[in-house]
Every structure is written in structure tokens, then in C-alpha cells.
């Protein structure tokens, strides 16, 4: 059996990753594909507990290395328990956030040694890299406004760092997209309807699927 397809969605907060991941999963299922939809940090009972710790905004001051290792631990469990088994079954795995998020948020934006992040991630994933990544890109001011509207002023620990932090994250993502343009497809979402973004994603994915099948 051919290994399944691993697709990830990335981008700063407010770009619509969850919406587009769900829409893509639904469309693929309608076309007869077996799909696993998941997210990071999280995706397993253990990883969800780590997620709650990572995003908790009060009474905790994580050391930078601790933060990286917690993300790696959650990802290791997620890959072992959910992602690899589904890929071995030949299924399509759609994941909201993966390794690129850690590199963008903790590396480019927070300033943690990117080599350290990549080493920890390599151990956690066993070298697993997405086959295709959709980077949903927005101007930081637009993404930040969406976050504020969505949360009614409430913030998790990452969002509490503010729009200037998100700008650094965005620049990190753009750098990753430039370095890995074959895997990471940068989609400018500014001024586009959800349906327009969905159409772009579907067209890109169809080309990748056809290429895998030799069409």
C-alpha cells in the first residue's frame, strides 16, 4: 500500500487555518478519500494536556528550552499515535500546524536557537516532513484584528504577546516558504472570501495528487 499524503496548514493567528482544514477534509471525503483531521499542539489525549499547559496565560513562566521540549514531546506522541499510523494505512492526514509553527513562533519570533529547535523536532518526528504545506498569509494587522474579534478580548499565552510578535512570526513563515517553495505554498488571503481561498487550495492539491498518481 502506498503511504498516505501528509498535508499541513500554517500561518499566523487569524488566517483561517481551522476553517480551511475542515473544508478540505470534508471535500476530500466527498471525493472518496479516507481523511484524518488533526491539530497541533494536541491531537492525542496526552498532547492536548501539553497544549493546555503551553497556551495557559497565567501563573507560569516557561523557560525557552522547556517550551521547545514540550512542543517536541506533544509532537512525538502525535506522530507516533495518530499521524504515522494513518499514513501507513494510506490515508490523507490534514494537520493544523506542525513543525513549521515551532520554527516560526519559537525560532524566528522568540529567538530560540533554530538549530536546537530543528534537532528536537527531528527526534520528535523521526524525520517526518509534510508532503504539502499551505501557508495562509495575511497582513499582521488584519490577522490581529480577526483574533481580537474572535476572542472578545481574551487571549492565550501566545496571543498575549501582541501584534509585534505576530509580525515576527509572519516574517518567519515567509522565510520558511522561500526556503522550501516546493513544499510550502504561500496563499495570500487578504481580501479573499473563504470560498476563494478554498478553491486555490483545492487546485494546488489536485495537481499534487495527480503528480503522485503519475497523471
Residue identified by cell 515567509 is 174
Give the CATH number for residue 60.
3.40.50.300
3-class SS of residue 135:
strand
Q: Phi/psi at 95 (nearest 5 deg)?
A: -125, 125
On whether the CB atoms of residues 84 and 132 are closer than 8 A, the answer is no
Q: Which domain holds residue 102?
A: 6-212
Residue 152 pLDDT > 80:
no
pLDDT value at residue 64: 85
pLDDT value at residue 78: 98
Distance in angstroms (rounded) separating the CA atoms of residues 67 and 166: 18
Q: For residue 1, is it within any domain?
A: no
Q: What's the gap between Cα 144 and its chain centre?
A: 18
Distance in angstroms (rounded) separating the CA atoms of residues 179 and 202: 23
Q: For residue 37, is it within any domain?
A: yes
| Mean per-residue pLDDT, 26-55 | 94
The string of pLDDT tens digits covering residues 74-93 is 999 999 999 999 999 999 99
Distance in angstroms (rounded) separating the CA atoms of residues 116 and 118: 5
Distance in angstroms (rounded) separating the CA atoms of residues 121 and 34: 27
Q: For residue 68, is it within any domain?
A: yes
Three cell numbers, residue 30: 466527498
Residue 156 pLDDT > 70:
no
On whether the CB atoms of residues 147 and 14 are closer than 8 A, the answer is yes
How many domains is the chain built from? 1
Q: For residue 119, is it within any domain?
A: yes
The string of pLDDT tens digits covering residues 7-38 is 999 999 889 999 999 999 999 999 999 999 99
Amino acid at each position: 500500500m502506498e503511504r498516505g499524503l501528509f498535508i499541513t496548514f500554517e500561518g499566523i493567528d487569524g488566517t483561517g487555518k481551522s476553517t480551511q482544514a475542515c473544508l478540505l477534509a470534508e471535500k476530500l471525503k466527498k471525493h472518496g478519500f479516507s481523511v484524518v483531521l488533526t491539530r497541533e499542539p494536541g491531537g492525542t489525549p496526552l498532547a492536548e494536556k501539553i497544549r493546555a499547559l503551553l497556551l495557559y496565560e497565567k501563573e507560569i513562566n516557561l523557560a525557552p528550552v522547556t517550551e521547545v521540549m514540550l512542543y517536541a514531546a506533544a509532537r512525538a506522541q502525535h506522530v507516533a499515535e495518530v499521524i504515522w499510523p494513518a499514513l501507513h494505512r494510506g490515508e490523507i492526514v490534514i494537520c493544523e500546524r506542525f513543525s513549521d509553527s515551532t520554527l516560526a513562533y519559537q525560532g524566528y519570533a522568540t529567538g530560540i536557537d533554530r538549530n536546537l529547535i530543528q534537532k528536537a523536532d527531528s527526534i520528535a518526528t523521526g524525520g517526518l516532513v509534510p508532503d504539502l504545506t499551505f501557508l495562509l498569509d495575511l497582513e499582521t494587522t488584519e490577522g490581529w484584528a480577526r483574533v481580537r474579534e474572535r476572542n472578545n478580548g481574551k487571549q492565550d499565552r501566545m496571543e498575549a504577546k501582541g501584534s509585534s510578535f505576530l509580525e515576527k512570526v509572519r516574517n518567519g513563515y515567509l522565510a520558511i516558504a522561500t526556503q522550501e517553495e516546493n513544499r510550502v505554498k504561500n496563499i495570500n488571503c487578504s481580501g479573499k472570501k473563504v470560498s476563494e481561498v478554498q478553491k486555490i487550495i483545492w487546485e494546488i492539491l489536485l495537481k499534487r495528487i495527480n503528480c503522485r498518481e503519475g497523471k
